[in-house]
Amino acid sequence: MFACLFQSQMLLNQLREITGIQDLQVLQSALNVCLQQHLSMYSGLYCLTYSCFYSRALEVSAEENAARMKRKRCEGSGESCSPADWIRQEDCPVGIRNVGNTCWFSAVIQSLFHLPVFRRLVLNYCLSERVLEKCKSHSEKRNIAFMQELRCLFALMVGSNRRFVDPSAAVELLRDAFRTSEAQQDVSEFTHKLLDWLEDAFQLAANGNNPEDKQNNPMVQLFYGTFVAERLHAGKIVSNIEQFGQYPLQVNGFNNLDECLEGAMVEGDIESLHSDQPVSSGQERWFSKLPPVLTFELSRFEFNQSLGRPEKIHKKLEFPQVIYMDSRYLHKNVDQTHGRRGDVKRLKDQLTVLQQKLEGYKNYGSGPTKYPLADMLQYVLEFVTTKPTNVSPASLCDKLCLSFFSLPCLSPSKYDAGSSDGSGCPQTATQKTPIHKPFTQCRPPMEVPLQPAPHSVTEEELYFVRSCLQRWRAEVENTVNELKASIDKVSQALEGMYSDNSLCQVSYRLHAVLVHEGQASAGHYWAYIYDHANKRWLKYNDVMVTESTWEELVRDSYGGMTNASAYCLMYISDKLPYLIAEDTDDETGQALKGMDSLPSILRSYVREDNRWFQQELREWEEQFCQAQCEEVHTEKPIPEEPQNPEQEPNPEPAQEQTNEVSGEPPTDSTPAFHEEYSRLYELSQEETTPQQDPRLQHVLVYLFQNQAPNRVIERTLLEQFGDRNLSFDDRAVSIMREARSKIRLIKPEDMDMDEYLQWHDDYSMFKTVFAYLLTGLEQYQNGKIREALNYLAHAHQDNSVLLRKGERKGVDQSLIALYRIKCLKELNENAATLFKSPDANDVAEAMTIMNECIIPCMHLMVRDSVSQEDLDVIELIRSCWCSYLGQDMDDSLQEKLSEFLPRVLDCSAEMVVLKEPPKVRKSPHNLCSRLTAVMESIHSTSVVTVK
């Protein structure tokens, strides 16, 4: 008995290695079906053939695949997910499910599958029994198993009725290998390993006798090429031929794909050997044989030695839809390319000189600030031709000071001990200095000159200077135009250097772009693949397959704008139509599509899987109809069991009093509804204290306190009980179904959904305001004043919107305003101290504080209706910075002061843009506990930390 069991287990292990099916239950089921057709166990072992067993195993595997898809879909989308939503649309490609950080697998497999020549290779992959018997090593058995799983996956992608397929079996084989010493950390290495497995598997089918000879390996023929590497050794050129698959290209330092290729092909100045110039060391690479499918691997990931971690390069890199490889990269064009490279080098040097000259005219000056020379000459000409004035500098200063301090926004009462206005009349305590008038509208006296002008200038001087400046300006403009024309001419010559027809014969067209979004340590992968039959781009993002455009591809793939960029480009030869040609029937010559293109054994496998999918659809429909009937049956007795029919209210008057809220729920409600309604109503009657706010505990408390309409309150309560996540037992499920049935009975005319959603949006903003307030107070107590001010400014701004809708819609503004003032005072003192520092970094920090924190907050305060305390702190800040006007300081500081001082004084001259705060936690329990901790901390001497 033990020997039979042992032999049976040995047979299962051998069949698992041969077929690639890893599930022992599937193998055992298929084995039992086959053995029923034989007389005995031992005769079955010898009569069982590979094709018979594989056919049976595929049928069982299709059943298991259907069950796995059903389980995965329910796990990922919940019970309410309908299989009808996952039916494949006609002529739409199939997506691939992400089974756990496998989006890279989906992107790579889709780009290979939609290459018809490769798809045919996989679907028609077959090994003879003689070759199978020779496969003894673990790697060979693993590669064969992976190929069989890939065949099944490709077959489903061809003929499945599902919108997406499950790659779990193939992915699990890869994961098993990566759990061993073969594990790789980088996705590119993962992809290399996948392609190596495919190459080894095809090698067994191509030439089982000589594994070293790979000339007949279809993977090598399709994806591998050769290049010649030339270098200098002892004054002679030494060359050797090397093979390549995915060709790596550096991204840093280059702007487009051609520059990347030239940088990878040329090292040093070896081309000088082909002329009479002195010899220098270096190395060149030239493609000697290009593969039909040319893949470029863009090195967008590098290891930062100083930080000790990998980083992603987000630099923009352009690439074309068609690239000509014979223009400068083929070994047969060495001499012609060398000559053109010399011309390109000379043109680039010339272009550099021209651009430097033009830059000198566009940015002229010896100081830190530079201006266009033509404009500077024009400004001097305008100064000279301005009518001179007889006003002395001293009197001009007096008039400017008088004009400055007569501005309404800078009343002398704010800076002097006296409290009189401009007319000398004392102000009363109720009078306020207006501050809303823009600084730019405060006009100086008419006798003060508006433009700088020379004190005196003679006619002779004016004539001489004007003629010189006009002539020089004309000369400068002519020179600039000539430089621009020369730059355009040289640029056109560079662009056309490799674009003539003699060097544009070997064209490659873009087939697929693999995109990564995120950072080096984490991210998401998808692919853009060209649909050659329909001449369109498609985006393959796991289960989602959507039509796209070249513009969208550029936006996601070039990089430089977001953290998404291409990391792999796949080009195919334009001269080999068989690469994208569909299968054709040998007899009729008609194109084979869908199931007709599959081998018979895979066709049966897909049909079996589609049969299981159809059965799954029928089962779901039956379950849905049964659930509907149960809900209808549950609904009927509810109106027939009122607790007190005599007290049942008339529905018409109830709708007329929608704004009257009481502690009694609707009379037709169940005990569960009644208990929850009463509990929350009693909670809404509790007094609000600094340490607790009942509104944070539940949305219904917020609705009760703000006198929300009854229809809004009732639907909110029903939505709560109708939440599936709260249905943890039979009673809860029953209550959930009743709540959902009541919701369905609400007619559109009975409920204004816009009004309902607005109430809930207000409550969401209310919690956000509280989260901003609490986070700001916590940051303030921890000494992070800048962060605190940002949160408090957002809290005040959003809270003002809520308070305009009702007194209980928002939070008491006094606490927000108090700590906003404290933050402003401390930040302003810090900025003023840093501004006077001799360290340039401190001055820059002061400017950042003013421009990013203080000034935007001041502008918001002036724009809104602010209190006297807010006005006082604004005037305090203005006084502080205006005091610098009479002090001696460096020209650079004077310039910086003049940049932001008008913005401090005039709070209506620009649009207010607050820095967006990070996302905050808004769960009611979290906010309640944080409120208690923060308020206790405010009224004590120590900081309370909320965990």
For residue 289, give the nearest of 257, 256, 247, 250 by alpha carbon: 247
For residue 875, give the nearest of 444, 432, 440, 428 by alpha carbon: 432
For residue 383, give the nearest of 320, 459, 284, 462 by alpha carbon: 462
Q: At what angle are helices 730-745 and 710-721 packed, to 10 degrees?
A: 140
Torsion (CA) 730, 732, 737, 743 in degrees, nearest 10: 180
CB atoms inside a 10 Å sphere around CB 770? 24
Report helix, strand and coil shares of the chain as percent, to nearest 5.
55, 10, 30
SS3 per residue for 548-581: ECHHHHHHHHCCCCCCEEEEEEEEEECCCHHHCC
**Separation in Å, CA 240 to CA 325, 332, 635:** 20, 15, 83
Backbone φ/ψ region at 450: left (φ over 0), alpha (ψ -120 to 50), beta: alpha
For residue 291, give the nearest of 198, 227, 223, 245 by alpha carbon: 223
Give the residue numbers annotated as catalytic, written as ranges.
103, 524
Dihedrals phi, psi of 382, to nearest 5 degrees: -65, -40
**Separation in Å, CA 852 to CA 404, 856, 859:** 26, 7, 12
For residue 346, give the nearest of 181, 493, 148, 525 by alpha carbon: 493
Question: Is the CB of residue 497 less than 8 Å from the CB of residue 344?
Answer: yes
CA angle 752, 758, 764 (to 5 degrees): 145
Question: Is the CB of residue 60 less than 8 Å from the CB of residue 29?
Answer: yes
> What are the tokens at 526?
């998808």
Residue 267's DSSP bridge partners are 283
Question: Strands, E, within 234-281: which ranges?
Answer: 236-244, 246-250, 266-268
Query: What gap in Å lies between CA 660 and CA 673, rounded to an integer?
Result: 19
Query: What gap in Å lies between CA 302 and CA 313, rounded to an integer?
Result: 8
Q: Which sign, positive or negative, has the C-alpha torsion 247, 251, 256, 258? A: negative
The contacts of residue 78 (CB under 8 Å, 6+ apart) are 724
> What are the tokens at 138?
């673990």
